[in-house]
Amino acid sequence: MPRLDAERIALWRRLGRVIVDVQREIDGELGEAHGLPLAWFDAMSAIRDGGGRLRVGELCDTLGDVVSSVSRRLDRMEDAGLVERSVAPVGGDRRSVSVALTAAGRAMWREANITYRRLVQHRFASRLTDTDVAALQRVLTKTSRN
């Protein structure tokens, strides 16, 4: 196993800065173009990818966030008419609170997704060769908990 040297520490810090910079840019553009924070877009994407309805706990797991933070986010999103929560049975659990996108939420996600994809293409995907993608996949596989 390689030892933790200055180069690896510097690379780790640089990776964090790059991710934060790109996320800030995406957050700003989504906010300016759609009035939608990136955190809301991520939650909406997770719900959509989860089949249109998720338990709040599943949403927390998908987002890698704690229940209190996601609940506050969902409160604001619900006030904006983008999501709705219900105590409908999901997966056989009758006590579970689930969240789904409203019609307005689905429309907002579709519009914002165009902006999101354009920004990811511009700031990330267009700069990577197929070799870069394969190398990054290897790194992420090695460092992922899943």
Phi, psi of 145 (to 5 degrees): -75, -25
Q: Find, among 110, 119, 124, the residue nearest to 19 by Cα.
A: 124
Domain CATH number, residue 50: 1.10.10.10
pLDDT score of 90 more than 60: no
Mean pLDDT, rounded, of the chain = 92
Global pTM reads 0.87
Domain membership of residue 14 (yes or no) is no
What was the pLDDT predicted at 138? 95
The span from the CA of 54 to the CA of 40, in Å, is 15
Out of 36-50, 60-74, 88-102, 127-141, pick the least confident.
88-102
- Mean pLDDT for the stretch of residues 36-48: 98
Tens digit of each residue's pLDDT (9 = 90 or more) over 13-35 = 999 999 999 999 999 999 999 99
List the domain range (segments joined by +) for residue 87: 27-143
What was the pLDDT predicted at 94? 58
Domain membership of residue 129 (yes or no) is yes
Domain membership of residue 118 (yes or no) is yes
What was the pLDDT predicted at 93? 59
What was the pLDDT predicted at 65? 94
Give the number of domains in the chain.
Answer: 1
The span from the CA of 81 to the CA of 40, in Å, is 12
Domain membership of residue 58 (yes or no) is yes
